[in-house]
Amino acid sequence: MLTFNDNKAGMAGLDKERISKIIESNTSGNYSNFSKKQQDRINEKTESIKKRLQAVSPAEWSRAEKEMDELAARLECHRDLRRDCVHIDMDAYFAAVEMRDDPSLRTVPMAVGSLSMLSTSNYLARRFGVRAAMPGFIAKKLCPQLKLVHGNFSKYKKENHVFRAIFAEYDEDLSMGSLDEAYLDITEYVKARTEPNVLVRRRYGGECICKLPLMTEQDLSPSTTESCKKCGKDRKVFEDNIEFGVGRAEVVREIRFRVEQATGLTCSAGIAPNFRLAKICSDMNKPNGQYELANNYEKVMEFLSTLPIRKVCGIGRVSEALLQACGICTVGQLLERRAALKFCFSELSQECFLRVALGLPGRPSSSDPRRKSISTERTFTPTSSREALIEIMEDVCDMLVEDMKRAGVVGGRCVTLKLKLSSFDVLTRSETPGRLVSSREEILAITRETLDRELPNEFRLLGIRLSNLQFEDERASGEPISVLDFWKRQQHADSNCIGDEEASSSSSASDPPCSSEERVSCPICGCLLRNDDRVVNQHVDECLNASMLLQEDSATKPEPKVPKKRKATIENFLVKKDRK
């Protein structure tokens, strides 16, 4: 049976077996077969783990436990309990925007998306098992009265600019995990704040219910009356003052209040010593709530002791199954049975899981923080027609080129074509032509040739990825020119054609603090992603809103300017020669 993932706010206590049966009965045979193959592979791995653990002797277990304790001691040296880290997540963001703008949607189960795929659902719909990344036609089987609303990506981006500006007042170096979530370190702000802050609070009522937030029946605040331009009815405006204290919990309460006042949307927050824990905490009191985890070792370990492993970002269906095969279902058991990790996982995964068990942030990355690739893809009705696939390929390529311009990417040296068969199996074919590929025509020439080799298979998804990238601002950063470029410039000089190269600087929020080298799979397209909150959330956003991205500008942020490793240059060559 296809399993239903209820690990989402507003979905606790559902009848998973009934929902799973409905999903399975409305799923195509191709996908059922694909899911069965996936499950068979997982079952093979779990059986292998169980056999491996059964063969472990007491002496081996004791030795492994000692080695894991030594690793834990090394990791403990880097624990930092001095920071005030906050993760803020907008509540059912796309759905909330639509409900704010259309009051009739507030009291019915609704979702944003189409019969093909949902981007999100409101909390009423979640009680029926309707959730993001679910096909709309299956959601309709779960909840026949479900109201589907087509998304408006430009509207969601506009609201994002409003609350992001508020977040930036508390941490100018904030990191947006996606359109609807942010990571803030408010340590310095909290230290500098010594006085309470009093803000004006406005709520609305009367015949007009267009504007949010609405007043409660018990509210006795003084009011004024105004006419609503949208519905033409009278609206009462209730205004009073509200005070926020000086602690970090009060600061976060103030941030959430300001977001609601500015946008009419609510958000939830988690406060903790690091961003991994803060992200977990932000899900504890959804919607429109916050949860604070004290900066105290004992409190952190107590919080984690009974936490289900699936609540940890980066532990998905496969990792959960493998850990359960080790007898691990909670984060507390992850620490208790730490020796099992030594026999069943790679060294990198061992460290990753141990960090989770200890409540430590993800493994810091020593690699270049620039993006490593840029890609675009489309899902469509399965077809084997070359003409149809070439037309789709041209559209995808146009989208990719536009994304490259926005991200400041000049080109790349590796082109990958991704194809998902009608059976849901995924093929990836990479070509490295030995030169920088930058134009639409060059990309299409390579991907057409690759596609022809895979025909006449029937495909349902086509994507193009460009990797080993070169950015516009690399030359502007003072990087020496390569030997090849040196000779090219000499040829230009001989013909009096030297011109200044244009360079555009790019800026972005820093990489999110919650990261790991472990790979996780996208729940929609199945591709493997770096276990990094920003990367995962951004990719899922793009998958869920593929149809909207065809018509709207994407929300891709430019990447930060960073120093690059020195290339082999003619100047360096001459210096080395002189030294000899």
Task: Produce one character per residue of 405-421: b if its CB has 16 or more CB atoms within 10 Å, e if not.
Answer: eebbbebbebbbbbbbb
Active-site position among 24, 76, 159, 181: 181
- pLDDT, tens digit, 9 for 90 and up, residues 495-552: 333 333 333 333 333 333 333 344 555 655 555 565 555 555 656 555 555 444 444 4
DSSP string, 409-432: EEEEEEEEEEEEETTS-EEEEEE-
Rg, Å, the chain Cα set: 26
How far is 199 from 203, CA to CA, in rounded Å? Answer: 13
Based on the residue annotation, tell me whether 394 is a catalytic residue of this protein.
no
Strand positions, DSSP E, 432-536: 459-471, 515-521, 528-532
Question: Of the given ranges (113-117, 364-368, 454-458), which has the lowest mean pLDDT?
Answer: 364-368
> Measuring CA to CA, how many Å separate 80 from each of 29, 62, 85, 359?
51, 29, 11, 11
Find the range with the poorest average confidence among 167-171, 340-344, 495-499, 568-572. Answer: 495-499
Question: What sign for the dihedral angle of Cα 298, 300, 306, 309?
Answer: negative
pLDDT tens digits along 224-278:
899 998 898 999 999 999 999 999 999 999 999 999 999 999 999 999 999 999 9
Residue with tokens 């999100």: 120
Q: Give the contacts of 11 (CB within 8 A, at least 6 positions apart).
A: 126, 127, 129, 131
Express as a percent the part of the chain with pLDDT over 90: 63
Strand ranges across the sheet with 118-121: 118-121, 110-113, 147-149
Hey, what's the torsion of the CAs at 558, 559, 563, 567, to 10 degrees?
-90
Tens-place pLDDT, residues 33-83: 777 888 889 999 999 999 999 999 999 999 999 999 999 999 999 999 999
Q: What pLDDT is recorded for position 181?
A: 95
**pLDDT above 60 (res 222):** yes
Q: Which domains does the chain show, CATH number per domain?
A: 56-81+300-358 (1.10.150.810), 373-509 (3.30.1490.100)
Q: Which two tokens stand for residue 276?
A: 């991994």
- Of residues 479 and 421, the one with the higher pLDDT is 421
CA distances to 139, 174, 257, 263 from 166, rounded to whole Å, are 35, 11, 11, 11
